[in-house]
Structure 1
């Protein structure tokens, strides 16, 4: 009887460990592979939404540079005109993928709202992942008079050989930039 009890306890422990240990979905791996396939390349983009709040972005040259690539992290500086303060950081974590926005001044120091973003909540797809705002970002936005952003959901799409998309949505807000992957640029 003791052997049976020990076996049942061991089986329950193994089952519990399997259930509570999140695994990265194959679509997360495929999405990271799609990003890594762009490594070292730069692409121009354009705002495809029509919100007047996006006028400054829409009238500027938008450039992304996929760099610092590995299977677990990809960094994508995003330039708006001469402003080179933004970098998107996509990281593979045990629970899925994380998107963070790294904002720095010309000397490399973090500025203003820095390191905000979110985590995937499900497997997503090889070509599209969504990142609802995380708790750290909610606290950051609330503390910096940016409470309007506490419901942000970011998305990224990679349609190989076609387009890369960066998107932000929340109630009464939709911002979308599409980058043409058919035409890499020198800078």
Structure 2
């Protein structure tokens, strides 16, 4: 009786460390964009984003591995941001890397979270994790501890979208993946 229980336990543990079908589909959709860059536009209407609306916004799916995809985001001449989608234990996670022009890391970097249970092959939601909440508290932006980020990849709609939502705040930028553009310069610190 003990041997069958051990086999079942081993199978359950291995299933927990494998990506779900939806996560695998999501990573496949993202990987199909690897090496390409796209111009985006802000589609949310928060006045707080007006400065970004005035700039050219470009994302570049720069590197794709089995368990990590790195997507630099350029806002005008600002090349400080990289979205990092990676495997963290048994789930995909999104973290944000921020660098200064000299390549040094910003004090507010590495924030994000692991995907929650509301997900599909085309959209993942990432609520702020405890380390992120502590980072935001330490840097005087505790309201950001309620952030939920989302990434959406819908090939049939030629859409890649990035979202950030919290009480009283909503930001969404969409990229048309049917129109690749020239590859932008490398993010700060990686050129």
TM-score by length of 2: 0.88
TM-score by length of 1: 0.90
Question: Which ranges in structure 2 are unaligned for 5 or more consecutive residues?
Answer: 185-191
- Correspondence 1:59 to 2:45: no
Change in CA separation of 1:123 and 1:174 when aligned onto 2, cut-off 3 Å: closer
Could you tell me whether the CA contact under 8 Å between 1:96 and 1:122 is conserved in 2? Answer: no
Question: Which ranges in structure 1 are unaligned for 5 or more consecutive residues?
Answer: 1-7
Distance, in Å, in 1 between the alignment partners of 2:125 and 2:58 is 21
Q: What SS class does the counterpart of residue 82 from structure 2 fall into?
A: strand
Distance, in Å, in 1 between the alignment partners of 2:128 and 2:118 is 16
Partner of 1:15: 8
Q: CA RMSD in A?
A: 1.5
- Correspondence 1:86 to 2:69: no
Instruction: Give 1:20 deviation, angstroms.
Output: 4.8
Of residues 57, 64, 75, the one that matches 1:69 is 64
Distance, in Å, in 2 between the alignment partners of 1:28 and 1:93 is 12
Could you tell me whether the CA contact under 8 Å between 2:69 and 2:86 is conserved in 1? Answer: yes
* Bigger radius of gyration among the two: 1
Partner of 2:125: 130
- Correspondence 1:109 to 2:97: no
Q: What SS class does the counterpart of residue 93 from structure 2 fall into?
A: strand
Distance, in Å, in 1 between the alignment partners of 2:118 and 2:170 is 23
Paired residues, number: 180
Q: What SS class does the counterpart of residue 101 from structure 1 fall into?
A: strand
Q: What SS class does the counterpart of residue 148 from structure 1 fall into?
A: helix
